[in-house]
Amino acid sequence: MHGRETSNIVILTGAGISQESGLHTFRTMANGSMGWDTGLTVHPIEDVATPEAFRRDPALVQAFYDARRARLKEVEPNAAHRALASLDAAWPGELLIVTQNVDDLHERAGARRVLHMHGELKSAWCLACDTRMTWSDDLGDHPPCPACGVAGRLRPDIVWFGEMPYEMERIDRAIMAADLFVSIGTSGAVYPAAGFVQSAHHFGARTLEMNLEPSLGSVWFDETRTGPAGKLVPEWVEQVMATA
Ligand code: BV8
């Protein structure tokens, strides 16, 4: 089953690939639920990353994402992002980087075949006219929508917990056609992303994870390499390019 040539590659990335750029990862909190560690405090996802939280306290949610959007201006892509961008530019076969990250570091490193399944900080969504648009400033000060002019109806174009991730059909098709499924810097705690390795395995792909520590889904991977993405990913890209 695994003797297949490597031509179609799907790469899943998580918060761990941006950690060496200075962006925080999530954290399992004392009460077992997930939280977003801003370095100063840990926001339970229930307070900042659900539609209910946005209805309950829109100012807190907007401030949370305004701070993360502003932080993007202070960080740069790292060696792992750059290595994937060079692979994307040179790989002759199918390749898709499916990221759970809402930061723009894959694109700023030069990657093009990128799909943000959980949305992007640099995009806003108008709930009055349903337009989605590139956005780099705050949303907390209720700016008018550039498309319909209505003020205060713009929300972060982010997939919150309980909401359907973006482009699931395109992701499923890519996984079904993949010869190689690679997972980088993700804990495997959040679904449906955490289930991709099982379907990739089911459709006969070879599976490899690169992570600081084995993820929750580690048993599903044919190979696990542990260490920082900034070191492991450039090494792996060199190896896989040698097979191109
Ligand atoms: C949905 C945007 C239904 C927001 C995010 C099945 C079982 C159990 C629960 C569920 C289930 N199915 C659905 C659920 C519920 C839920 C879920 O999974 N809950 C969890 C908490 C149990 N899933 C959902 O709600 C999903 N939606 O199911 O909708 C539906 C179906 C039909 C129709 C309508 C609705 C939506 C989930 C998406 C939520 N939004 N992000 C934001 O970012 O603010 S998820 C968010 O959390 C991230 O995008 C990412 O997905 C996740 C965090 O995980 P990681 O990225 O892996 O980061 P983490 O910090 O956990 O781990 C980092 C790893 O890197 C670690 O292992 C670490 O060791 C490693 N690392 C650190 N540094 C480095 C490193 N590795 C290498 N180098 C380093 N330097």
The tens digit of pLDDT for each residue in 209-229 reads: 999 999 999 999 999 999 999
Is the bond leading into 214 cis (omega within 30 degrees of zero)? no
Tell whether the model's pLDDT for residue 41 goes beyond 80. Answer: no
What is residue 44's predicted lDDT score, i.e. its pLDDT? 85
* Ligand 1 centroid to residue 166 C-alpha, Å: 14
- Please say whether the beta carbons of 115 and 95 come within 8 A: no
Of 101, 190, 216, 225, the one to substitute when testing ligand 1's pocket (max ligand atoms within 8 A of C-beta) is 190
Q: How far apart are CA 79 and CA 17, in angstroms?
A: 9
pTM of the complete model beyond 0.85: yes
Percent of the chain with pLDDT over 90: 87
Return the residue whose CA atom lies nearest to atom 10 of ligand 1: 191
- pLDDT band at residue 1, thresholds of 50, 70 and 90? very low
Return the residue whose CA atom lies nearest to atom 13 of ligand 1: 191
- pLDDT band at residue 42, thresholds of 50, 70 and 90? confident
Tell whether the model's pLDDT for residue 36 goes beyond 90. Answer: no
* Ligand 1 centroid to residue 190 C-alpha, Å: 3
Q: Strand 206-211 and strand 26-28: pairing? A: unpaired
Pocket flag, ligand 1, residue 100 (CB < 6 Å): yes
Question: For residue 167, what is the DSSP state?
Answer: T
* Ligand 1 centroid to residue 101 C-alpha, Å: 9
Active-site residues, by number, are: 118
Amino acid at 163: E
* Ligand 1 centroid to residue 4 C-alpha, Å: 30
What is residue 35's predicted lDDT score, i.e. its pLDDT? 72
Token pair belonging to 152: 């205060």
The Cα angle at residue 84 between residues 79 and 89, in degrees rounded to 5 = 125
Atom of ligand 1 nearest to the CA of 36: 44
